[in-house]
């Protein structure tokens, strides 16, 4: 039942329910499959072998597989080849090390602070002054007019 070109159904894992073809046989338990799943090594227990076969040679290329699988209505899932060159991690590390941006930002903040500083300080002063004046005025008014007048009126009533 297990042979190269045998159509099978993957039962277990995240590829469950997807059809594939046996491309290579590794040993009694493991097989390499390709098809709707990624091209991968797979345990035989995780596969359901179907009654269909496809004519494929061992280690067939993607183009050959695609042609053969069309007859079964299986679309081959292709994996992108790995890019040659330096690893992307190193590129990420290099980004935050860019100096001119950070220096420029710091300068801006330093310059901006003294400009805005006196204004912000000045505002509360102006605000507090009228407030203080009004308070003092009110107190004075009360001291002069309000309270003594009321007291006098009460005294008059009592007497």
Partner 1 sequence: MVAPRFRSRTFRRIKVKTPGNRNTIHYRLRKPAKAQCGKCGRPLQGVARARPIQLRRFSRSQKRPERPFGGVLCSSCTRDELRARAK
Stretch of 11-19, 22-30, 65-73, 96-104 contacting partner 1, by CB under 8 A: 11-19
- Integer CA distances (angstroms), 75 to 15, 31, 51, 62, in order: 14, 20, 19, 11
Tell the smallest beta-carbon distance from residue 11 to partner 1 (Å): 5
What tokens were used for 28? 């009694």
12 binds partner 1 (CB under 8 A): yes
> Residue 65, Cβ neighbours under 10 Å: how many?
20
- Contact flag: residue 17 with partner 1 (CB under 8 A): yes
- Cα separation, 102 vs 107, in Å, equals 9
Shorter beta-carbon distance to partner 1: residue 11 or 152: 11
Is there binding between residue 75 and partner 1 (CB under 8 A)?
no
Q: Which is nearer to partner 1, 10 or 68 (CB)?
A: 10
Cα–Cα dist 40/42, whole Å = 6
CA 109, CA 132: separation in Å to the nearest integer? 34
Q: Which of 50, 150, 152, 153 binds partner 1 (CB under 8 A)?
A: 50
Which residues of the shown chain bind partner 1 in the complex (CB under 8 A)? 9, 11-14, 16-17, 19, 48, 50
């Amino acid at each position: 039942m297990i042979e190269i070109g045998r159509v099978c159904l993957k039962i277990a894992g995240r590829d469950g329910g997807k059809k594939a073809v046996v491309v290579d046989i590794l040993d009694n338990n493991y097989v390499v499959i390709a098809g709707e799943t990624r091209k991968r090594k797979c345990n035989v227990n995780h596969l359901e072998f179907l009654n269909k076969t496809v004519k494929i040679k061992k280690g067939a290329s993607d183009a050959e597989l695609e042609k053969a699988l069309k007859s079964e209505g299986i679309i081959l899932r292709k994996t992108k080849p790995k890019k040659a060159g330096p690893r992307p991690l190193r590129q990420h590390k290099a980004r935050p090390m860019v100096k001119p941006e950070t220096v420029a930002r710091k300068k801006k903040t330093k310059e901006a602070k003294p400009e805005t500083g006196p204004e912000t300080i000045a505002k509360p002063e102006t605000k507090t002054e009228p407030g203080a004046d009004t308070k003092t005025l009110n107190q004075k008014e009360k001291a002069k007019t309000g309270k003594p007048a009321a007291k006098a009126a009460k005294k008059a009533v009592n007497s």
